[in-house]
Amino acid sequence: DAGITQSPRYKITETGRQVTLMCHQTWSHSYMFWYRQDLGHGLRLIYYSAAADITDKGEVPDGYVVSRSKTENFPLTLESATRSQTSVYFCASRANTGELFFGEGSRLTVL
């Protein structure tokens, strides 16, 4: 199916573990984004990517790593998870007309 999909939808992990959240889009959009959504903070940009092998930091990049070896995939890795990274993570891609299309989110709990 066309669209943007995220996996896993739900993840529980422990402090210090590595976690990777996957994002896949079928539109071949150049730009992709990772946001986190937290009560009281709204949506904040973690990282974005302009194309394969081109990534850049957003507002809150500390503790996160991204890669983009293929246009359609944009995984987000928490190298050593902390409780403050408990959040809902949204991946998005941008159409040429400017709007973003979002995945359904990955809810991460760090114990």
Partner 1 sequence: GNSVTQMEGPVTLSEEAFLTINCTYTATGYPSLFWYVQYPGEGLQLLLKATKADDKGSNKGFEATYRKETTSFHLEKGSVQVSDSAVYFCALGLIYNQGGKLIFGQGTELSVKP
- Of 60 and 80, the one with the shorter C-beta distance to partner 1 is 60
74 lies in the site for partner 1, by CB under 8 A? no
Nearest of 100, 79, 71 to residue 17 by alpha carbon: 79
* Binder of partner 1 out of 8, 16, 26, 50 (CB under 8 A): 50
61 lies in the site for partner 1, by CB under 8 A? no
Q: How many CB atoms lie within 10 A of CB 57?
A: 13
CB 48 within 8 A of CB 23: no
CB 81 within 8 A of CB 13: yes
89 lies in the site for partner 1, by CB under 8 A? no
- Of 85 and 90, the one with the shorter C-beta distance to partner 1 is 90
* Binder of partner 1 out of 1, 42, 62, 69 (CB under 8 A): 42
The number of residues in the chain equals: 111
